[in-house]
Amino acid sequence: MPARKPDSNRVALGLATLITLPLALVLLWGLGQQLLLAHRMRVEERRLETLVAQAQARHDELLARLDYVRSDEYVEHWARAEAGMARPGEVAVVLLNEGQHAGVSATPTPMPTAESPESRPWWKELWSLLTGR
């Protein structure tokens, strides 16, 4: 029996399928990559919008503080609280910590004695550390 000659329509259909199928797969892969990139960009956009909102809130807070610092109310507060100033005719009262007197520390510093570690030679200090005396 003679071999059957393939139909030219079937050959053309097979060649078209061999060319179209990989091309369609490449296009679908590219579309998937674009969709993934679009999703990542939306996530990044939301993150950046949050950061911008936080920065805007901080900016507004700093502007309000700047207005306060420029006001006479702040100057008076600073003069009284930080600088210890008083208006003419007022008396500034400074409270000392408990147990303190003006110009005197609350805890006196001990005077070094003859046997204090600062006045002994290093080898005596080492010996006392080793022997426990």
What gap in Å lies between CA 51 and CA 45, rounded to an integer?
10
Q: Residue 78 is encoded by which pair of tokens?
A: 């600073």
Considering the domain boundaries, does residue 42 fall inside one?
A: yes
The answer on pLDDT for 113 being more than 60 is no
Considering the domain boundaries, does residue 95 fall inside one?
A: yes
Considering the domain boundaries, does residue 67 fall inside one?
A: yes
What gap in Å lies between CA 50 and CA 46, rounded to an integer?
6
Residue pointed to by tokens 């005719």:
89
pLDDT (0 to 100) of residue 6: 67
Mean pLDDT of the chain: 84
Considering the domain boundaries, does residue 110 fall inside one?
A: no
Domain count, the chain: 1
Considering the domain boundaries, does residue 1 fall inside one?
A: no
**pTM greater than 0.75 (yes/no):** no
What gap in Å lies between CA 30 and CA 82, rounded to an integer?
66
pLDDT digits (tens, 9 = 90+) for 22-79: 999 999 999 999 999 999 999 999 999 999 999 999 999 999 999 999 999 999 999 9
Considering the domain boundaries, does residue 13 fall inside one?
A: yes
Containing structural domain, residue 28:
8-100
Residue pointed to by tokens 């079937």:
10
